[in-house]
Amino acid sequence: MRLRNIPGSREEIAASPFVVHEDVMKDQKGRWHEIFGNRNPLYIEVGMGKGRFITQMAGFFPERNFVGIEKYSSVLVRALAKREANPDLTNLMFLRMEAEDLAEVFGEGEVAGIYLNFSDPWPKDRHAKRRLPSREFLARYQQILAKGGKVEFKTDNRDLFEFALQEQKEAGWNLELCTWDLHADEELMRSNVMTEYEQRFSSKGNPIFKMIIAPPENTGESAD
Ligand code: SAM
């Protein structure tokens, strides 16, 4: 993601009622239902970017709760603008945080599903641990996923997708769906919600890869 510093973005986030702030986010662990005022299942997007995907998902699924996670203020403010333009989306909140800390913010089995969309590739081998589908991150996701919970990952980056397949296998996760050309699959496309990056790269003719994976065993309580 090309980063343009947006002056005032930190202040805007600090004042936003749609962001769960740093000072209290860890207090929410295991208690996210209090934020939303209901016990609907909770879905998160890690590395949300400008928020197109999660905003649309929240609109399509009012009976689910959504949290968009992004580490950069300058990017998160773009998602906040979408939320402000959609006052009815009471099922959507945001966190500005580093995803390495997920298990400090969400309780065991608290999350019904995780979306990773067009995650940063971190091409150097020594940065492999930073890739969001790495085994290190899979272990974090496993801690917070509810029984039956899955990770859905989309990208146009073949190396990252192949890496994710290896990591899923090494970590003993189950590969429930795998396509090397999502946009050619009519059935999958019926429920596909495009992200900003997906729109950009698919319009250039890049094939989009998608996998759905589930942890080997999940002892968390179902969030449904
Ligand atoms: N998901 C969006 C899409 O598909 O349009 C954005 C994709 S962009 C390539 C990746 C985003 O993930 C960036 O905004 C980046 O700041 C965020 N990100 C990457 N690593 C992260 C991490 N460890 N914690 C939180 N956000 C992260």
Q: What is the CATH number of the domain that holds 206?
A: 3.40.50.150
Residue 189 resides in a domain? yes
Cα 198 to ligand 1 centre (Å): 13
Residue 4 belongs to a domain: no
State the total domains in the chain: 1
pTM of the model: 0.95
Question: Does 2 map to a domain?
Answer: no
1 in ligand 1 pocket by Cβ < 6 Å?
yes
Q: Which domain holds residue 101?
A: 9-214
* 1 is a domain residue: no
Q: 181 in a domain, yes or no? A: yes
How far, in Å, is the centroid of ligand 1 from the Cα of 156? 14
**Ligand 1 atom 12 nearest Cα:** 47
Residue 53 lies in a domain: yes
Residue 48 Rama label (left phi>0; alpha psi -120 to 50; beta): alpha
Q: What is the pLDDT along the chain (224 residues), one digit of tens a residue?
A: 556 778 789 999 999 999 999 889 989 999 999 999 999 999 999 999 999 999 999 999 999 999 999 999 999 999 999 999 999 999 999 999 999 999 999 999 999 999 999 999 999 999 999 999 999 999 999 999 999 999 999 999 999 999 999 999 999 999 999 999 999 999 999 999 999 999 999 999 999 999 999 999 754 455 45
Residue 83 lies in a domain: yes
Active site residues: 120
Looking at the domain assignment, is residue 219 inside a domain?
no
